[in-house]
């Protein structure tokens, strides 16, 4: 391993004692990657970059923010008006949460389409679901910090869900709040946790990457690499591709930060929290709407809570719910269509979540919720079982030479499980 960097004496000295340079060389530079990754594979690195951006801007916000109920709202306004570039930090952070979720959701659907959760990547996938849960907790608690009307009432509604737990429900809620209503102790602990959890996410991301590098990336064909002709080194091929993707992504992100910074937010959060006045409508941020829709579609409160959380926890079981041995949906003529219907279903749930549970919205919400569970619990095991997959190409290079996965090779072999 003759890394060029090691010609420097100092670097050699350090590397001999602490092999960080060897590690970097191994994991970033030489790290062999399938040569046929498409642009959907950009979203993983984008999510990592978003995490860094959130931590960076968050730390600067925390320097000027006051987690006290009578001062929190004003301190955020002071950040906006008096702190140098405070408006920039806050708008990057505020819209960053939305873009972090956009990127992560796309990343997850990528995994769903190309079967990236299947053996040997089950733990990699499950660590990803853990990251999603941590992100949701972080974003929820962050939204409480500016202590606007939606912060306060959102916190009240969501924490109240735990009161549905039999017997100990109310005790749990009191414990979460640190009192008998959402109040100063709630704000204090949410700030402490909002500061902490992103660093926990960093830890889980490291495990996620360790698991990834064990077997390398999946790819659009979903077949294993058969030899060096199927791989290219990560650097420079994917570093430049990720960089280009980052540029395109930042163009969208910057447009929101600088030109429409409040479009994704709720105006009511610019009204200071008022425990005596319930806003006409309590709506969570857009990235929680599908889950909110599931919650409100179920007539029983406890069952609603269980189904809402279940909609994420079900992802942990995915590697075993999907009985097909073929990874990529490209070769699964039936599953493929169910995948697109699932996307429509999730979008529908999001729209339902933004509406009062009345009239037609209740009906759509119930159908969409039922369909969500149908997809994972029934469709996945059964389709995998009776579907006849199209023949797989013999190798990545053979498919690439023939112009992509659509032209499957003649001598098809099933991939090794």
Q: What positions carry a catalytic annotation?
A: 213, 217, 241-242, 285
Within residues 43-82, the interface with ligand HEM by CB under 6 A covers 51, 54-55, 58-59, 61-62, 65, 76
Q: Exposure pattern of 94-113 as b/e (b: 16+ CB <10 Å)? A: bbbbbbbbbbbbbbbbbbbb
From CA 129, how far away is CA 29, in angstroms rounded?
28
Q: Which of 201, 257, 321, 326 binds another protein (CB under 8 A)?
A: 257
Q: Are 118 and 319 in contact (CB under 8 A)?
A: yes
Q: Distances from the Cα of 214 to the Cαs of 61, 69, 291, 358, 377, in angstroms? A: 37, 47, 33, 50, 29
From CA 87, how far away is CA 90, in angstroms rounded?
5
**CB-nearer residue toward ligand HEM: 51 or 161:** 51
**Dihedral of CA 396/398/404/409: which sign?**
negative
Looking only at Cα atoms, what is the longest distance across the chain?
73
**CB-nearer residue toward ligand HEM: 115 or 142:** 142
314 in contact with ligand HEM (CB under 6 A):
no
Say whether 260 sits in a helix, a strand or coil.
coil
Say whether 63 sits in a helix, a strand or coil.
helix
Cis omega (within 30 of 0) on the bond before 236?
yes
56 in contact with another protein (CB under 8 A):
no
230 in contact with another protein (CB under 8 A):
no
Burial of 172 (C-beta count, 10 Å sphere; 0-12/13-18/19+):
middle
Residue 205 interacts with which of another protein, ligand HEM, none, CB < 5 to 8 Å by class: none
Within residues 185-214, the interface with ligand HEM by CB under 6 A covers 194-195, 198, 201
Least spacing, CB of residue 78 vs ligand HEM, in Å:
11
**Other beta carbons within 10 Å of 138:** 22
Please tell me what DSSP assigns to residue 329: G
Q: Exposure pattern of 229-267 as b/e (b: 16+ CB <10 Å)? A: ebbbebeeebeebbeebeeebeeebeebbeeebeebbbe
Strand partners, 272: 148
Q: Are 10 and 17 in contact (CB under 8 A)?
A: no
Least spacing, CB of residue 204 vs another protein, in Å:
25
132: Cα separation from own chain's centroid? 5
**CB-nearer residue toward another protein: 102 or 408:** 102
**CB-nearer residue toward another protein: 89 or 205:** 89
* Closest residue to ligand HEM in the complex (CB): 58
Least spacing, CB of residue 274 vs another protein, in Å:
10
Least spacing, CB of residue 244 vs another protein, in Å:
4
**CB-nearer residue toward ligand HEM: 145 or 348:** 145
Q: Which of 108, 129, 139, 349 binds ligand HEM (CB under 6 A)?
A: 139
For tokens 């955020």, the residue is: 76
Residue 340 interacts with which of another protein, ligand HEM, none, CB < 5 to 8 Å by class: another protein
**CB-nearer residue toward another protein: 62 or 351:** 351
Q: Are 148 and 355 in contact (CB under 8 A)?
A: no
255 in contact with another protein (CB under 8 A):
yes
Residue 65 interacts with which of another protein, ligand HEM, none, CB < 5 to 8 Å by class: ligand HEM
What is the contact mask toward another protein in residues 384 to 403, using x (rule: CB under 8 A)?
A: -------------x--xx--
Q: Are 314 and 127 in contact (CB under 8 A)?
A: no
Least spacing, CB of residue 403 vs another protein, in Å:
11
90 in contact with ligand HEM (CB under 6 A):
yes
Least spacing, CB of residue 189 vs another protein, in Å:
27
From CA 141, how far away is CA 160, in angstroms rounded?
14
256 in contact with ligand HEM (CB under 6 A):
no
145 in contact with ligand HEM (CB under 6 A):
yes
User: Which residues bind to another protein, rule: CB under 8 A?
Assistant: 35, 74, 77, 80-81, 87-88, 91, 102, 105-106, 109, 232, 236-237, 240-241, 243-244, 246-248, 250-251, 254-255, 257-259, 261-264, 266-268, 270-271, 280, 283, 286, 289, 340, 343-344, 346-347, 350-351, 353-355, 397, 400-401
Interacting residues with ligand HEM (CB under 6 A): 51, 54-55, 58-59, 61-62, 65, 76, 90, 93-94, 97, 100, 135, 138-139, 142-143, 145-146, 194-195, 198, 201, 265
């Amino acid at each position: 391993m003759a890394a060029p960097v090691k010609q420097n004496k100092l670097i050699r000295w350090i590397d001999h004692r602490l092999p960080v340079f060897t590690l970097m060389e191994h994991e970033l530079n030489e790290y062999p990657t399938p040569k046929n990754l498409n642009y959907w594979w950009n979203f993983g690195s984008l999510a990592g970059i978003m995490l860094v951006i959130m931590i960076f801007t968050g730390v600067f916000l925390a320097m000027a923010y006051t987690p006290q109920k009578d001062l929190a709202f004003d301190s955020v306004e002071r950040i906006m008006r008096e702190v140098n570039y405070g408006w920039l930090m806050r708008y990057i952070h505020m819209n960053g949460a939305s873009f972090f979720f956009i990127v992560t959701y796309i990343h997850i659907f990528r995994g769903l389409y190309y079967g990236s959760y299947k053996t040997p990547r089950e733990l990699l996938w499950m660590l990803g679901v853990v990251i999603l849960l941590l992100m949701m907790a972080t974003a929820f608690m962050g939204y409480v910090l500016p202590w606007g009307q939606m912060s306060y009432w959102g916190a009240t509604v969501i924490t109240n869900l735990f009161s549905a737990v039999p017997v100990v429900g109310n005790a749990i809620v009191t414990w979460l709040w640190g009192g008998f209503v959402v109040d100063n102790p709630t704000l204090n602990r949410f700030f402490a946790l909002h500061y902490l959890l992103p660093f926990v996410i960093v830890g889980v991301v490291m495990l996620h990457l360790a698991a990834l590098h064990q077997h390398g990336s999946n790819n659009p064909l979903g077949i294993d690499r058969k030899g060096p002709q199927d791989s290219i080194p990560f650097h420079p091929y994917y570093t430049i591709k990720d960089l280009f993707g980052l540029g395109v992504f930042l163009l969208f992100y910057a447009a929101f930060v600088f030109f429409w910074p409040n479009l994704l937010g709720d105006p009511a959060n610019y009204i200071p929290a008022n425990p005596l006045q319930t806003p006409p409508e309590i709506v969570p941020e857009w990235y929680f709407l599908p889950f909110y829709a599931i919650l409100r579609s179920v007539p029983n409160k406890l069952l609603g809570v269980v189904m809402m959380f279940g909609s994420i926890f079900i992802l942990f079981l995915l590697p075993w719910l999907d009985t097909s041995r073929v990874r990529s949906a490209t070769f699964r003529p039936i599953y493929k269509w169910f995948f697109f219907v699932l996307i429509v279903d999730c979008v529908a749930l999001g729209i339902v979540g933004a509406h009062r549970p009345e009239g037609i919205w209740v009906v759509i919400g119930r159908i969409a919720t039922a369909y969500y569970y149908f997809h994972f619990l029934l469709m996945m095991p059964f389709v995998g079982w009776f579907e006849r997959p199209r023949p797989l190409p013999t190798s990545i290079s053979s498919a690439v030479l023939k112009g992509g996965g659509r032209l499957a090779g003649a001598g098809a072999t099933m991939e090794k499980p």
